[in-house]
Structure 1
């Protein structure tokens, strides 16, 4: 058993020390330069700047469709790519955004349509998924939704009589 271990150790020693080429001679300077540039660019992100963080529709009647446009600018150091825009509820629909890269300094926009559902003060969040450092950015819409004057009272509710 001792001879086997001795032979195995000798084979491993020969295998690990038999490299005659110096590993530093195999480094290609162009690869090093490309890697340095890639690493420098990896720390550069696009930054999305909105013209407004929140839009208030004011007072609207229930079931009234309203929409607004959010404008944005890429103020970062790399092209901006928006991959998705979602709202916090199905009553709010974001649309009309570009999935093409937006160069530094360029502007874009998307539309948000709200169908007037809910009652009283309503607030919805729109999440923009992009290649920014955080990965997601948010904007909001708000409205005060008045009850529909043509709506029938709920079952079991007694009508209010004027005195």
Structure 2
């Protein structure tokens, strides 16, 4: 009987340790990544990460740190209440070439170690070809 009670106590303790209380952040985008796809340099470069506080306490985003100056994030200024959504906007400078940038969201979220959540953007920026309407078109007759 004593062994059963000890086992029950261990199971109850283990389950209660797993059920953390506090703010929790869950991002809408798969792998916390926004894919720009292939975009023109003319694009404004702004994308929005949508997240939800799935915890039972207010979620406070204290900082969003970018790995370079080409990516400028903006964070919510007010706490996100349990069950509510928030957003982090990111503006990329749209330099031609591949986009592979990471940022770190610092918060009081208990479902990430130290409340630090990595978010990423990816894609490719292209320069649209300029079409010269005055240029003579080559036709089959020109051969």
Match of 1:80 in 2: 59
Q: Give the alignment's Cα RMSD to 1 decimal.
A: 2.3
Q: Secondary structure at the match of 2:101?
A: strand
Unaligned runs of 5+ in 2: 1-19, 131-143
Q: Normalized against structure 2, the TM-score is what?
A: 0.64
In the alignment, does 2:13 pair up with 1:67?
Answer: no
- Which of 1 and 2 has greater Rg? 1
Higher strand share: 2
Matches within 5 A, 1:111-130: 111-117=89-95, 119=97, 121-130=98-107
Decide whether the 8 Å contact of 1:63 with 1:117 is kept in 2: no
Structure 2 CA distance for partners of 1:110 and 1:51, relative to 1, 3 Å: same
Matches within 5 A, 1:22-33: none
Decide whether the 8 Å contact of 1:91 with 1:115 is kept in 2: yes
Q: Normalized against structure 1, the TM-score is what?
A: 0.57
In the alignment, does 2:23 pair up with 1:46?
Answer: yes
CA displacement at 1:69 relative to structure 2: 1.0
1:117-148 CA distances to partner (integer Å, 9 max, x unpaired)? Answer: 252x2211121100113221121111112357
Match of 2:13 in 1: none
CA displacement at 1:60 relative to structure 2: 2.5
Unaligned runs of 5+ in 1: 1-42, 151-163
Large movers: runs of 4+ above 6 Å: none
Distance 1:101 1:91 in 2: 27
Decide whether the 8 Å contact of 1:64 with 1:115 is kept in 2: no
